[in-house]
Amino acid sequence: MTDPNAHLIDMQAIGFAPEGKPVLSDIDLRSNARRIGVVGRNGSGKTTLARIMAGLIAPDAGQVRIAGIDVAKDRKAALGVIGILFQNPDHQIIFPTVEEELAFGLLQQGHPKSEAARAVAQTLADFGKSHWAKAAIHQLSQGQRQLVCLMSVLAMRPKVIILDEPFAGLDIPTTLHLQRTLEAIDLTLVHITHDPAVLVGYDEVLWVDQGKTELIGAAAQVLPAFQDRMTQIGAGDDLSDLTS
Q: What is the pLDDT of residues 216-235, one digit of tens each?
A: 999 999 999 999 999 988 88
d(CA 125, CA 224): 40
**Is 4 contained in some domain?**
no
Tell me if 240 is assigned to some domain: no
Q: Tell me the pTM.
A: 0.87
Instruction: Please check whether residue 88 lies inside any domain of the structure.
Output: yes
45, part of any domain: yes
Residue 165, phi-psi category: left (phi > 0), alpha (psi -120 to 50), beta (remainder) = left
With vertex at residue 170, the alpha carbon angle to CA 164 and CA 176, rounded to the nearest 5 degrees, is: 90
Residues paired with 38 in a beta bridge:
192, 206
Instruction: Dump pLDDT digits (tens) for 187-216.
Output: 999 999 988 998 999 999 999 999 999 999
List the CATH number of the domain containing 149.
3.40.50.300
The mean of the pLDDT values for the chain is 89
User: 117-136, pLDDT tens digit by residue?
Assistant: 999 999 999 888 999 999 99
Pairing of β 82-85 and β 69-70: unpaired
Q: What is the pLDDT of residue 109?
A: 87
- Number of domains comprising the chain: 1
Is residue 193 within 8 A of residue 37, CB to CB? The reply is yes
Residue 108 domain flag: yes
Secondary structure letter of residue 90 according to DSSP: G
Domain holding 111, by residue range, is: 31-53+67-209
111 occurs within a structural domain: yes
